[in-house]
Every structure is written in C-alpha cells, then in structure tokens.
C-alpha cells in the first residue's frame, strides 16, 4: 500500500498513544489489555471521524467546495467533527440530523448538540428515521447550488472508501507502534457503527499481512447485516488502497450481543463499562459507541472467549462529549 498517493489534510500532530490498562486488566483477571487513544485525535474533542475527515476534506477542497454537508444522529460525534474540520478550513457546514429515536432532537440538549451551536453550524435540518439520507443531503446541496455555492456531501460517519482510508492508515500506525513497543497484539476490539473504522482496520491489517483478528462490537444493527456492510466497505477500501489479497468474508466479525434495545439506548453493561474505564484507568468512554464496545470487551474477557493469555488492543474511538447528555444515567447516584 502507498497511502501517500492520496491527498490528505492533517488534523493530528503525530500518532495517538497506545497505553496499557493494568488496573482494568487486573480487576477483570483475564487478558492483558491495551488502549489506542483515538479519543485524543485532533479537531474539537477528537475521535475516530478525524482520521476519515483528513482524506474526505482534502477531496472537498480539491473539488472547490465551500460547504461541507453531512448527516448523523442527534448527538453525532461525526457531525461535530465535520463541523470542526469546516471551521478549521474556513468552510461552512450544514448538518442533517436523523431522529433515530423518535422525538430525540432537542435544540437545547447538551453534549455534541450544544457544540453544533458553539462551533457555528450554518443550518440544521432534522429528519425522521427511515428518511432517505442521501436525498436529504442532496436537497441541501441543491439549495446551496441555487445560491451559487458548492456543497460537498460526506456520507454518515464519513464511511465510504475514501474516509475508511483513515483507518487503513491507523492499522499501519498500530503495527509500527506495536513493533517499537515490543508488544505483539493477539486481537483488536473496536466499535462497529457506520462501518468505516472496522472496515479500514481490517483492510490495513490484511494489506500488511499482519494476521491480527479484529473483533467488532455492534452498536446498532444485527450481526449478519452489519457483517455484510463491513465486508462490502472493507473490499471497497482495500481496492482503493491497492491491497492485493481479497478481504475474506470470515475476516469480518461483528458481535451484536451488546447493542441492547437499540442504537444510543443505555444498557446496564454500558454503564458498568463507562464507570470501570473511568475509575480504573481515568479514561472517559461514551455511552453510544465505546461504552457498548467496552461492555463487549469486558464480557468476552469474563466469559473466557478472549483467553487470559491474550494481549488485546481496544480502540478508543472517542465520543466523550456525549457523556454530558447522559449524566443522569451514568452517575453513581443513578446506578447505585
């Protein structure tokens, strides 16, 4: 692979840290756990979308766009980071927010929603779940075109092949760090949502013949549907990046045991995971993605599905601003 052939903006100086989690590892009494701190990526409050936006925004600028258009849930980290990238680049940004939980949009809500306002979003369009997202964004682009402006549409989560390159790059970064640290990982565990992160990591691992299994933990969809989505995108990004071996279908594993009642809806396992990471490692997870992915990690270690002899890297994909919109559910007083 030669990722330097793709235009890229840089939003993070250097690499994100890989840290051991000794207290959590000891407390669970199983595998040796490490964490990749992608919550410390650049742009406002960090998180995985920053890596995808480095490639997507470079493309938007090459096409002469003046406005970024994207879509996400009402507490979308992706929308916050797309807006932050627009601010950094001197572009405008318009957001389409999908009410995945009916009635969930509250213009006065805290968390990411508050940051949309603070970062100066140009316009927000709220749509119901099930609306054609692409059509909704194209309507925004048409509105801009009528004013002589040029929008650039970024799909939900920045998850197309170009965006997923960000996580092919992350896989290479992990392998380099692993080599320098002298720590060989037996497994990588990551949240799987719009699929770009999971797909990019798998393509990067295969492209480097690294042979590290990747376990995805779903936050929204049933396992067969999500594995199909991730496989399709992994093949597309592998093709774009020039990965030679095909991505086998069985390289894609997306467990759905920790989704609970649905996307963004809290579960007791999520609350426990958020509290354990905070109190044992001083790491802030988020309630929608990393809290559920970490619940999966913890569950797999406790059940022995992840062996006590394994060294595991958990990818922290960010999202902590959403914590503040869930304080009532997460605080010790509430969960006691």
Ligand X SMILES: *Cc1c(COP(=O)(O)O)cnc(C)c1O
Residues lying near ligand X in the complex (CB under 6 A): 47-48, 77-78, 157, 159, 191-198, 286, 289-290, 317-319
Q: Distances in Å between the alpha carbon of 302 and those of 31, 46, 253, 299, 305?
A: 9, 30, 19, 5, 8
Looking at the chain, which runs of residues are DSSP E strands? 18-20, 32-37, 67-73, 92-99, 123-128, 151-154, 187-192, 214-218, 253-255, 311-316
Can you spell out the DSSP letters for 317-333?
Answer: ---GGGGGGSHHHHSHH
Token pair 């042979």 is found at 211
DSSP state of 58: H
CB of 34 or CB of 289, closer to ligand X? 289
CB of 25 or CB of 317, closer to ligand X? 317
Token pair 């405008």 is found at 92
Residue 286 in tokens? 């988020």
CB of 30 or CB of 111, closer to ligand X? 111
- Other C-beta atoms closer than 10 Å to the C-beta of 249 total 11
> Would you name the residues annotated as active-site residues?
76
Distance in angstroms (rounded) separating the CA atoms of residues 249 and 71: 28
Q: Comparing C-alpha atoms, which of 66, 9, 18 is closest to residue 42?
A: 9
Q: Comparing C-alpha atoms, which of 289, 328, 327, 321 is closest to residue 119?
A: 321
Distance in angstroms (rounded) separating the CA atoms of residues 33 and 298: 10
């Amino acid at each position: 692979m030669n990722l330097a052939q793709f235009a890229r903006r840089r939003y993070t100086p250097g690499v994100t840290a890989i840290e051991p989690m000794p207290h959590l590892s000891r407390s669970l009494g199983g595998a040796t756990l490490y964490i990749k701190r992608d919550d410390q990526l650049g742009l406002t409050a960090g998180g995985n979308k920053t890596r995808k936006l480095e490639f997507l925004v470079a493309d938007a600028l090459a096409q002469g766009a003046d406005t970024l258009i994207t879509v996400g849930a009402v507490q979308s980290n992706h929308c916050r980071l797309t807006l932050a990238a627009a601010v950094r680049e001197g572009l405008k940004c318009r957001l389409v927010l999908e009410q995945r939980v009916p009635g969930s949009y509250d213009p006065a809500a805290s968390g990411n929603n508050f940051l949309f306002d603070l970062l100066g979003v140009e316009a927000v369009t709220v749509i119901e779940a099930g609306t054609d997202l692409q059509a909704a964004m194209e309507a925004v682009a048409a509105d801009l075109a009528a004013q002589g402006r040029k929008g650039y549409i970024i799909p939900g989560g920045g998850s197309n092949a170009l965006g997923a390159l960000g996580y092919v790059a992350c896989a290479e970064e992990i392998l380099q760090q692993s080599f320098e640290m002298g720590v060989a990982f037996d497994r990588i565990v990551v949240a799987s949502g719009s699929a770009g992160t999971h797909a990019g990591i798998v393509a990067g691992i295969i492209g480097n013949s690294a042979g590290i299994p990747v376990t995805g933990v779903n936050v929204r969809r049933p396992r067969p549907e999500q594995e199909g989505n991730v496989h399709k995108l992994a093949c597309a990004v592998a093709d774009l990046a020039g990965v030679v071996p095909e991505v086998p279908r069985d390289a894609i594993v997306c467990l759905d045991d920790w989704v609970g009642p649905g996307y963004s809806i809290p579960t007791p396992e999520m609350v426990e995971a958020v509290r354990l990471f905070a109190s044992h490692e001083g790491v802030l997870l988020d309630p929608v993605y990393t809290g559920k992915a970490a619940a999966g990690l913890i569950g797999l270690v406790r059940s022995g599905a992840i062996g006590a002899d394994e060294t595991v890297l958990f990818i922290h994909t960010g999202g902590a601003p959403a914590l503040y919109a869930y304080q009532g559910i997460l605080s010790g007083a509430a969960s006691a």
